[in-house]
Amino acid sequence: MKIQGIQGSLTEVKCDVLIINLFKGVTAPAGGTGAINKALDNLISSYVIEKEQFEGELNKTYVLPTYGKLPADKVVLVGLGESKKFDLNKVREVSATALRKAQELNAKTVCTILHGAGVAGFKPGACAQSIAEGTLIASYKFDKYKSKKEDKNNKVEEFSIVELENDKIEQINKGIEKGKTIADGVNFARDLVNEPAGELTPSKLAQTAHSLKGITCKILEKNDIQKLGMGAFLSVAKGSNEPPKFIHMTYKPKNPKAKIAIIGKGLTFDSGGLDLKPRGSMVTMKDDMGGSATVVGVMSALPTLKPEVEVHAIVAACENMPGCSAYKPGDVLTAMNNKTIEVDNTDAEGRLTLADAICYANTLKVDKIIDIATLTGACVVALGRFASGIMGNNQDLIDDLINAGDDGGERLWQLPLYEDYFNSLKSDIADFKNAGSREGGAQVAGIFLSKFAQDTPWAHIDIAGPAWLDKNVKEMPKGATGAGVRTLINYILSL
Ligand code: BES
Ligand code: MN
Ligand code: ZN
């Protein structure tokens, strides 16, 4: 889809579908919607609003044919909800709703009003960015394995944001570019997660990371990983025929203001290992590399966004399988920092791979470490699919990430990391175990990771819920979501 800002009047643009909007409770539309109302002989105010009782409720739509009274073929009126509750996240949401309606109507060319720039008074660039993000995230489809592409006929080809004032066009186009780069990062991550585990092996993930433009990438093979003493990571990989890959990507600008590491859990498949998962829990476990897809998606966007921050992205990629050399319950593993771990449950594998990745990040002398992982079912139980859990050892970092998420349309909810959670990880024979109490399971995993982060400011984001949706939520269609890409990009841009 081509997406652009154009100078012109809504009453003069030619397109299949023209998108306009209405706040809740407005009976006499003004601005762009007012102009269209006038051109349609007050059809919107006297018929749609008064007779049909269209009240501008959030995400409600009303389709009007124009019968030649406008160059646009059809008008889609989208409700913005209450004006006091309106923000840039709602701009993303209504943009997605409007796009879906336009697709239903088989539109090839779509023009839209700049939601949010009128009564709500947001900057044109920010509104355009949110429209681009909402539209491109909603238009995503993973259909590469469909022999018949279902919706060949309802692909929008050209999408234009229409603005009367010429001096705003440049800001709008800049906003669109930024939104497009971010949405491309999100959609790239979704492609990786949606790809079946039989295809997207650790080797394929490493190749993909290596192919990113403007990013350097070092791949450590099994021997190198062994030399570094990553006994926890290597043990998880033992039950699979697919070789593990330790991926280290770097984005390095000329004069970086900060230096951070982002670590993504990269289990390209999690069968549970010898503590095998039941089929219902295993069926979506190709998504257990969601964290790694997120950091790859973030890295793919950085060369275009050009933040003045040095970013290291790290993925300990492998499969958790119950093959005959698989690691066993009761085994004692030694991580890169020489801590010993007794295996209580082979299905608590993510924290083992992350432990060594965090130790490795510490050798890079970064100012901050953020890990992002589909780590625990407990986090899904606690927060559902609408928020990721966040915890860590530094409140400022956690607050900054929560705010970056809010701005980007992603929710993070802090969970406490009391030292008491460590009690259930006590081991009789090693320094500690990899699993313990099911109660507070997300925090138990968090406290385990904290033993590897040590004093570096560190935050852990558990995306086990939001990484995968089985129905559409706001701008996000079901399937892989690329959870965390927008949060991490916004955070990096804020440094
Ligand atoms: N990959 C899973 C966590 C998960 C669950 C992700 C549901 C997405 C949706 C993780 O490796 C796991 O198996 N965790 C166990 C830990 C337990 C054995 C301590 C869990 O949550 O049950
Ligand atoms: Mn597991
Ligand atoms: Zn897992």
Q: In this structure, which residues have their CB less than 5 angstroms from ion ligand 2?
A: 270, 347, 349
> What mean pLDDT comes out for the span 326-344?
98
> What mean pLDDT comes out for the span 31-51?
97
Ligand 1 mutation target, pool 270, 289, 376, most atoms within 8 A of CB: 376
The tens digit of pLDDT for each residue in 158-168 reads 999 999 999 99
Angle at 363 between CA 211 and CA 247, to 5 degrees: 20
> Which ligand 1 atom is at minimum distance from the Cα of 287?
8
Percent of the chain with pLDDT over 90: 95
Q: pTM here? A: 0.97
SS (H, E, C) 170-225: HHHHHHHHHHHHHHHHHHHHHHHHHCCCCCCCHHHHHHHHHCCCCCEEEEECHHHH
> What mean pLDDT comes out for the span 460-487?
94
The tens digit of pLDDT for each residue in 248-294 reads 999 999 999 999 999 999 999 999 999 999 999 999 999 999 999 99
Q: What is the DSSP string of 46-115?
A: IIIITTS-----TT-EEEEE-TTSSSSSEEEEEEEE-GGG--HHHHHHHHHHHHHHHHHTT-SEEEE--T
Nearest-CA residue for ligand 1 atom 17 is 348
State how beta strands 245-251 and 368-373 pair: unpaired
Task: Select the more confidently predicted residue: 356 or 476.
Answer: 356
pLDDT higher than threshold 80 for residue 152: no
- Which residue reads 């209405």 in tokens? 22
> What mean pLDDT comes out for the span 434-442?
97
pLDDT higher than threshold 70 for residue 374: yes
pLDDT of residue 477: 86
Instruction: Examine the residue annotation and report whether 385 is marked as an active-site residue of this protein.
Output: no
Ligand 1 mutation target, pool 341, 375, 432, 468, most atoms within 8 A of CB: 375
pLDDT higher than threshold 80 for residue 154: no
Nearest to 290 by CA among 410, 186, 220: 186
Question: What residues are in contact with ligand 1 under a 6 Å CB criterion?
Answer: 270, 288, 345, 347-350, 374-378, 380, 435, 441, 464
pLDDT of residue 474: 86
Percent of the chain with pLDDT over 70: 99
Cα 455 from chain centroid (whole Å): 28
pLDDT higher than threshold 70 for residue 188: yes
103 falls in which pLDDT band (50, 70, 90)?
very high
Number of separate helices (H) and strands (E) present in the chain? 14, 20
149 falls in which pLDDT band (50, 70, 90)?
confident
> What mean pLDDT comes out for the span 310-321?
99
**pLDDT, the chain, mean:** 97
pLDDT higher than threshold 90 for residue 475: no
148 falls in which pLDDT band (50, 70, 90)?
confident
118 falls in which pLDDT band (50, 70, 90)?
confident
pLDDT higher than threshold 80 for residue 153: no
For residue 494, the CA-to-ligand 1 centroid distance in Å is 32
> What mean pLDDT comes out for the span 53-57?
97
pLDDT higher than threshold 90 for residue 473: no
Spatial separation of the C-alpha atoms in residues 88 and 94, rounded to whole Å: 10
Spatial separation of the C-alpha atoms in residues 274 and 30, rounded to whole Å: 65
Q: In this structure, which residues have their CB less than 5 angstroms from ion ligand 3?
A: 267, 270, 288, 350
Are the beta carbons of 155 and 106 closer than 8 angstroms? no
pLDDT of residue 71: 98
Instruction: Examine the residue annotation and report whether 277 is marked as an active-site residue of this protein.
Output: yes
DSSP bridge pairs for 480: 468
Please give the order of strands across the beta sheet that includes 432-433.
332-334, 340-342, 432-433
pLDDT higher than threshold 70 for residue 307: yes
> Which ligand 1 atom is at minimum distance from the Cα of 277?
13
Q: Which of 141, 252, 259, 277 is catalytic?
A: 277
Domains, the chain, in order of start with CATH, read 2-183 (3.40.220.10), 195-494 (3.40.630.10)
> What mean pLDDT comes out for the span 127-156?
89
pLDDT higher than threshold 70 for residue 151: no
